[in-house]
A and B are shown apart, each in its own frame.
Chain A
Amino acid sequence: MNALQILEDWKTKGVLRPEQYELLTAILTGQRFSLYREIEIFLYLGVIAVVGGVGWTIKDYFVNLGDFAIISGLTLFLFASIGYCFLKGNSYTTDQDTSSDSLLNYLLYLGCLLYGVEMSYLQWRYSLFGAQWDYHFFLSAFLFFGLAYRFDNRFVLSLGISSLSAWFGFRLNRWGIDGIETYRLSAIGYGFILIGIGFLTHLSKIKMHFLNTYIQVGSHFLFIACLSGLGSSFILLYTVFLIILCFGIGSYGVQTRQFSFVLYSIVYGYIGMSYLLLTHLFQNTGAILLYCVLSSLLVIAGSVTLSKRLGEEEGL
């Protein structure tokens, strides 16, 4: 029996309700065909292309266009797009806003990206922030986070996260902590702050669905910082930190059934442990190869056991 025949069988046996049967067969036979994904991807690519083109055009033709045209054009568009979102958008809710028009989301995203272009231009032409250019990132992050929460927009949230990461990168440099340690500390601080914001808003029941984005980005920063720390003089500290992180993120992944976190924990943990063992313990080629064979086998066995525990029948 093919899928359609099985569905029909279930309908006659009463396993499926008639409306469920109608919906499922309509999708399977193509009588109902959603263009949602294609439309959304077109909008996203369109926004990216427009912003890229605007940046390129300003870069090459600013003399011909003139400051007034560029600044007024960008400002006008910025206010128009954000104003339109305030006018047409749904009122603020702490829950996920599923009824808002996705066109507004992309318009807001476009407005925010063009704001970034305008700030860059103002800084270059008039040195708006002077030597304190990094404050622009902080202000932008503040603005983007505000707009993301107001309009429930994940794209703008991602912009806020990117801007905050840029601010962290510059800020620690100003505090006089130089070299690779600067970036490591900045990444750790940033990772913790992101995860902290995520949990704080989650516990406050404000846009709880944003938590995943915060942890996805924050965990990568923490893992990468830890791995880079294994080559530093604080090796023991970073090893302990990596182990705690792997257990923490991995357990979170298992508990919330988001298995990408399990993958990150195992892969980053494996890289870290391999680095330590291969640089400090195994020196000859045979031992290294044997380590690779045995450790891979161990991970495979562990993953199969984990997979069995999590219940394979549930699929993805």
Chain B
Amino acid sequence: MRIYSPEVEEQLFLFHFLKDTLNEVSTPVPLSLKRCRFWIRILLFLFTLGFCIACMGFICFVFDIHHEFAIAKLSLLLAMISFIAAEYQIQNHRLYRYGIEEALIVFALGCLTFGSYGLFDHFIHEGWKNASLWASLISSIASYGAYRRYGYHYLLIWSFIASALMLGDLFHNPSLQRIGLLGIFTTHLIFFFYKQNHETWIRLKQEWEVSATLSVFALYLTVNLQLSTFQLWRSPFSDFNSLSIHSLFPTSFYWMSYALIWIIPIVSFNYSLRHRLRAWLDISLILFLLTIVTNKPYLGIERKPWDPILLGVILITVAVLVKRWLRKSPQDKWIGLTSDPEMKSDKRLLDAVATASTVLNPIPSPISPTTPNPTPGFKGGNSGGGGASGTY
């Protein structure tokens, strides 16, 4: 199924690993795949995708294609052509994460989804929901297939989203939707978990690990009703009505989900630390943070302004304690754990965060309080002879 041979990918992985770890790479790594730099990859991806979309628009314009059904048929044809083009590029030019072939595959999947929706919409006359259900199903399966063939994790994410859309169309009952999604993501998790534990190639093992981690994340989002019912997005800082979410689900389901949002990060964290799995560990920490952020709304307790201070103090304390603890342990490591950077990419990430924080930094402006200003000093009264306005 996989288009790249594991041996070639392993060599490539080793090359990058050596570059990231050692100061000089004088080791002979044979590389047979054509790659490009990260930023050029993004550039090629964006412009190839733009080229494909413009081509489609141009064909529609030249041949005067306006009818939905005709556009759907054209989409399916273009999906096939771009898929063949991507395969040709990879097999003949040995492209690997080059941007061009990725954009062709993404375009093919987009066309397939759009085309299948148009086709089903034309033939099924029982309402749009059926068409979108089938289109989502096809998109989910195709994205998953493409992910297995090319190894792009964003296609797996899209496959998960398409599954969620499909179940949204299939079931009207929110509890049934969740149970369906839990079934899909748990199956994925078990499969990836199995693959991860039985893989002998280190590169592929890491890839299965990331896929399993994405399944855990999807599982968590399904379980955390406060996050995935989109109430939080509407009013992130206000005391949103958790009762309305509560009323959508049976009480036992609601509280079971509450238990799970604590259990999943704990189990995941424990597993990742014991087996030294980077992606699992990072996702577990993110899940912990999400659990803490949604804990109060889950319990129907009002948020307080000092909650972020508490969260911040906890984060800083944990970081400081772990760092000190690792520093004090023999040779700056405890059962293999260390607080020092091992890779150059660790430092680069922090530099990127520091540069990005230029945009994210809050520019201080005079605080505008929610309660009225008690006005220190005399600036005139609101009534009486002291001056109505205070400005003369």
Number of interface residues of A (CB under 8 A): 105
From the candidates A48, A56, A315, name the one contacting B35 in the complex (CB within 8 A).
A315
In the bound complex, CA of A62 to CA of B46 (Å): 49
From the candidates B34, B338, B355, B366, name the one contacting A312 in the complex (CB within 8 A).
B34
A120 touching B365 by the CB < 8 A rule? yes
Interface residue A87 (Cβ < 8 Å from any Cβ of B): no
Interface residue B36 (Cβ < 8 Å from any Cβ of A): yes
Within 8 A of B (CB), among A119-145: 119-121, 123-126, 133, 136-137, 140
Interface residue B315 (Cβ < 8 Å from any Cβ of A): yes
Within 8 A of B (CB), among A187-216: 212-213, 216
Interface residue B300 (Cβ < 8 Å from any Cβ of A): no
From the candidates A31, A34, A103, A310, name the one contacting B343 in the complex (CB within 8 A).
A34
Interface residue A278 (Cβ < 8 Å from any Cβ of B): no
Tell me which residues across on chain B come within 8 A of A48, comparing CB atoms: 312
Interface residue A55 (Cβ < 8 Å from any Cβ of B): yes
Tell me which residues across on chain B come within 8 A of A300, comparing CB atoms: 44, 47-48, 51, 100
A154 touching B43 by the CB < 8 A rule? no
Given A59-B367, A315-B19, residue A53 in contact with residue B44 (CB < 8 A): no
Q: Chain A nearest CB: distance from B104 CB in Å?
A: 11
Interface residue A237 (Cβ < 8 Å from any Cβ of B): no
Within 8 A of A (CB), among B264-278: 275-278
Within 8 A of A (CB), among B39-53: 39-40, 42-44, 46-48, 50-51
In the bound complex, CA of A226 to CA of B359 (Å): 19
Interface residue A73 (Cβ < 8 Å from any Cβ of B): no
A158 touching B312 by the CB < 8 A rule? no
Interface residue B320 (Cβ < 8 Å from any Cβ of A): yes
In the bound complex, CA of A44 to CA of B319 (Å): 10
Tell me which residues across on chain B come within 8 A of A26, comparing CB atoms: 336
Tell me which residues across on chain A come within 8 A of B256, comparing CB atoms: none
User: Which residue of chain B has the shortest Cβ distance to A260 in the bound complex?
Assistant: B39
Tell me which residues across on chain B come within 8 A of A37, comparing CB atoms: 282, 341, 346, 349-350
Within 8 A of A (CB), among B360-392: 361-371, 373-374, 376
From the candidates A27, A38, A47, name the one contacting B312 in the complex (CB within 8 A).
A47
User: Which residue of chain B has the shortest Cβ distance to A299 in the bound complex?
Assistant: B47
A259 touching B54 by the CB < 8 A rule? no
From the candidates A41, A57, A119, A315, name the one contacting B15 in the complex (CB within 8 A).
A315
Residue-wise interface mask of A (109-120) relative to B, using a CB-CB cutoff of 8 A (1 in contact, 0 not): 000010011011
A266 touching B315 by the CB < 8 A rule? no
Tell me which residues across on chain B come within 8 A of A140, comparing CB atoms: 364
In the bound complex, CA of A187 to CA of B118 (Å): 47
A2 touching B200 by the CB < 8 A rule? yes
Interface residue A285 (Cβ < 8 Å from any Cβ of B): yes
B367 touching A162 by the CB < 8 A rule? no
In the bound complex, CA of A263 to CA of B37 (Å): 11
In the bound complex, CA of A217 to CA of B36 (Å): 25
Tell me which residues across on chain A come within 8 A of B307, comparing CB atoms: 53
A3 touching B313 by the CB < 8 A rule? no
Given A6-B14, A30-B276, A60-B370, residue A15 in contact with residue B27 (CB < 8 A): yes
Interface residue B203 (Cβ < 8 Å from any Cβ of A): yes
User: Which residue of chain B has the shortest Cβ distance to A27 in the bound complex?
Assistant: B342
Within 8 A of B (CB), among A8-51: 10, 15-16, 20, 23-24, 26-28, 30-51
Q: Which of the candidate stretches B55-63, B184-192, B241-249 sits at the interface with the other chain? A: B55-63
Tell me which residues across on chain A come within 8 A of B361, comparing CB atoms: 158-159, 162
Interface residue A149 (Cβ < 8 Å from any Cβ of B): no
A161 touching B358 by the CB < 8 A rule? yes
User: Which residue of chain B has the shortest Cβ distance to A16 in the bound complex?
Assistant: B27
In the bound complex, CA of A20 to CA of B366 (Å): 55
B362 touching A39 by the CB < 8 A rule? no
B47 touching A303 by the CB < 8 A rule? yes
A24 touching B308 by the CB < 8 A rule? no
B340 touching A158 by the CB < 8 A rule? no
Interface residue A178 (Cβ < 8 Å from any Cβ of B): no
Within 8 A of A (CB), among B290-311: 305-311
Interface residue A289 (Cβ < 8 Å from any Cβ of B): yes
Within 8 A of A (CB), among B145-189: none
Interface residue A307 (Cβ < 8 Å from any Cβ of B): yes
B58 touching A307 by the CB < 8 A rule? no
A212 touching B355 by the CB < 8 A rule? yes
Within 8 A of B (CB), among A281-316: 285-286, 289-290, 292-293, 296-297, 299-300, 303-304, 306-307, 310, 312-316
Known: A2-B201, A158-B361, A300-B44. 13 other contacts (CB 8 A): A7-B14, A33-B278, A39-B322, A48-B312, A52-B308, A52-B312, A58-B369, A121-B367, A133-B366, A155-B357, A267-B46, A293-B58, A315-B16
A-B contact list, 22 entries, CB within 8 Å: A24-B18, A24-B21, A30-B276, A30-B277, A31-B276, A33-B276, A34-B340, A34-B342, A35-B326, A38-B281, A43-B319, A53-B305, A55-B367, A124-B368, A159-B361, A212-B355, A259-B39, A262-B43, A292-B57, A299-B47, A304-B100, A315-B35
Chain A interface (Cβ < 8 Å from any Cβ of B): 1-4, 6-7, 10, 15-16, 20, 23-24, 26-28, 30-63, 67, 103, 106, 113, 116-117, 119-121, 123-126, 133, 136-137, 140, 154-155, 157-159, 161-163, 166, 212-213, 216-217, 259-260, 262-263, 266-267, 285-286, 289-290, 292-293, 296-297, 299-300, 303-304, 306-307, 310, 312-316
Chain B interface (Cβ < 8 Å from any Cβ of A): 7, 10-11, 13-19, 21-22, 26-28, 31, 34-40, 42-44, 46-48, 50-51, 54-55, 57-58, 61-62, 100, 200-203, 275-278, 281-282, 285, 289, 305-316, 318-320, 322-323, 326, 333, 336-343, 346, 349-351, 353-355, 357-358, 361-371, 373-374, 376
